Amino acid sequence: MLLWGSNGVEKDIRAAVMWYARSALQMVDPSAMYDYAILLLKGTGVKKNRTLGLELLKKAADMGSVEALNGLGWYYSNIVKDGRKAFRYFELAAQNGSRDGLFNVGVYHLNGDNPDKPDSNETAAFHYFLDAAQLGHVDGAVQSALFLSTGSIKGVPRDPDKAVLLLKQVSETNGHLGFMVKDALQTYQRGSWDEALVKYAMLAETGLGVAQHNAAHLCELLDHSSACQWRYHNYSTYNHIPQEAGLLRMGDYYSELADMVKAIDMYSTAAVHGSAEGLFNLVMLIEEGYEVPDIILDQMGLSDAHNVSRSAVVANLLSRCRAFEEGDVTPCSLVLWRMELLRAWRDFTHSSVQLTLACGIFATLTVFVFAVLLRTLLACYHAQYLSTSQSSERHNEPEPSGDEISDSPLETRTENQQQSYQPTAAHNHLSVQKTSDLIVTVTGVCACVIFIMFISHLL
pLDDT digits (tens, 9 = 90+) for 262-321: 888 888 888 888 888 888 888 888 888 887 777 777 777 776 655 566 777 777 777 777
* DSSP conformation class of 10: P
Q: Are 439 and 374 in contact (CB under 8 A)?
A: no
Containing 278, the helix (H) or strand (E) segment is helix 276-287
End-to-end Cα separation, the chain, in angstroms: 61
Q: What letter represents residue 332's amino acid?
A: C
Q: Is the pLDDT of residue 189 over 60?
A: yes
Containing 257, the helix (H) or strand (E) segment is none
Q: What is the value of pTM for the model shown?
A: 0.51
Looking at CATH, the fold of the domain delimited by 73-173 is given as 1.25.40
Please report the sign of the dihedral spanned by the C-alpha atoms of residue 121, residue 122, residue 123, residue 124. positive
Confidence of residue 70 (pLDDT cuts 50, 70, 90): very high
What integer best gives the mean pLDDT of the chain? 78
pLDDT for 92 equals 93
Domain map (residue ranges) of the chain: 1-64, 73-173, 352-385+424-459
* DSSP conformation class of 306: G
Higher pLDDT, 153 or 403: 153
Question: In whole angstroms, what is the distance from residue 147 CA to residue 141 CA?
Answer: 10
